[in-house]
Amino acid sequence: MEKATFAAGCFWGVEDAFIGIPGVITTRVGYTGGRTESPTYKDVCGHDTGHAEAVEVTYDPERISYGQLLDIFWGCHDPTQLNRQGPDMGDQYRSAIFYHSEEQRRLAEESLERLDRSGRLRRRIVTVIVPAVTFWEAEGYHQKYHQKHGGGCGF
């Protein structure tokens, strides 16, 4: 099993994009990319932690490739919006790929360049590609939120 970590707006909707995909073993939402240890949702919403709302995906690379996960990531949000997705605004909603290996970094950079050159987007991609750091799991009520309460991300 391998891990992939993505931020693309509210983590509830991003998690929805990966749940049920063959080869995805599990998902969990949380906070990463910042400087505060053990942040809470309230901390992250305060814009002082530097963390993004993110989804950690555990997957079987024999059943789904990292490239396929990147395709899902690009398709579940607008990577040209800086620090927002739809009505959600703030640095915690930034678009980011947190790579766990040099291979993931290379694949992420290549996929970003391909999408940017494709002409499918009207603006430049603002997604950052950075090394994965500590992933702080979000509070239990955030996990699989839409499965528990209905709804969806709408993007």
Encode pLDDT of 84-135 as tens digits. 998 899 999 999 999 999 999 999 999 999 999 999 999 999 999 999 999 9
CATH code for the domain in which residue 60 is found: 3.30.1060.10
Kindly state whether residue 55 falls inside one of the protein's structural domains.
Answer: yes
- What is the per-residue pLDDT across 9-51, written as a single tens digit (0 to 9) for each? 999 999 999 999 999 999 999 999 999 999 999 999 999 999 9
Q: Is the pLDDT of residue 153 over 60?
A: no
Distance CA 91, CA 125 (A): 16
Q: Provide the domain limits for residue 67.
A: 2-149
Q: Is 62 helix (H, G, I), strand (E, B) or coil?
A: coil
Q: Is the pLDDT of residue 68 over 70?
A: yes
Q: Is the pLDDT of residue 155 over 70?
A: no
Kindly state whether residue 135 falls inside one of the protein's structural domains.
Answer: yes
Q: What is the pTM of this model?
A: 0.94
Q: Would you state the pLDDT for residue 147?
A: 77
Kindly state whether residue 14 falls inside one of the protein's structural domains.
Answer: yes
What is the number of structural domains in the chain?
1
Q: Is the pLDDT of residue 151 over 70?
A: no
Which of the residues 10, 45, 76, 153 is marked catalytic? 10
Q: Is the pLDDT of residue 154 over 50?
A: no
**104-123 CB burial, b ≥16 within 10 A, e <16:** bbebbeebbeebbeeeeeee
Kindly state whether residue 155 falls inside one of the protein's structural domains.
Answer: no
Kindly state whether residue 154 falls inside one of the protein's structural domains.
Answer: no
Kindly state whether residue 23 falls inside one of the protein's structural domains.
Answer: yes
Kindly state whether residue 91 falls inside one of the protein's structural domains.
Answer: yes
Mark whether 76 is an active-site residue: no
Q: What is the 3-state secondary structure (H, E, C) of 68-82?
A: HHHHHHHHCCCCCCC
Distance CA 96, CA 41 (A): 18
